[in-house]
Amino acid sequence: MLSSEEQALLRLEIFADLELFIASRGGFASRDELTTFTLRSGMRMPVIDRNKGIRNPAEFDATLSIVSASDKGRYNVYDDAIDRERGLLFYSWAQGPLHAGDNRKLNLAFEQQAPIILFEKPLANVYVPGIGVLAP
């Protein structure tokens, strides 16, 4: 496991490299591009999970990214919502206790106010990132 300082530096490197990549793509990326994301240093660091809406890499104590999709239906059972007037995302916890599974690292991101990447998915296979912290 990386130290707290190493985690913070790696997060900043990911954010900077992702910003450059997204700008070169016109503001968005596909799931394949994000699940195979590689930093300019050559380190492979997927920034979204292939099958889930939350990315909790082993290198980090806290969540790296979440995906909020507007496509409700059989593949999206969560009640996420974005309030654009107030700049807030309402993100659903995974079923189960807050201190277990994927919720554990998400809860830690909230407690530590660690910045995370929010990927909005306005259309199928279109992901638009933003960076922020979780608020109560």
In this structure, is residue 136 part of a structural domain? no
- The answer to whether position 58 is within a domain reads yes
- What pLDDT, on a 0 to 100 scale, did the predictor assign at position 74? 47
Q: Is residue 112 part of a domain?
A: yes
Mean of all residue pLDDT scores within the chain: 87
| 21 Cβ neighbours under 8 A, 6+ residues apart | 29, 33, 37
Q: Yes or no: say if 68 and 80 are a contact pair by the CB < 8 Å rule.
A: yes
Lowest-confidence region among 49-53, 98-102, 125-129: 98-102
Q: Count up the domains in the chain and report the number.
A: 1
Tell me the per-residue pLDDT of 82-123, one tens digit each, with 9 for 90 and over.
677 876 666 777 777 777 888 899 999 999 999 999 998 888
Q: Looking at the predicted structure, is the pLDDT value of residue 4 above 90?
A: yes
Q: Residue 27's domain spans which residues?
A: 4-130
Residue 135 in domain: no
Residue 121 CB coordination number (10 Å): 20
Encoded tokens for 28: 């968005």
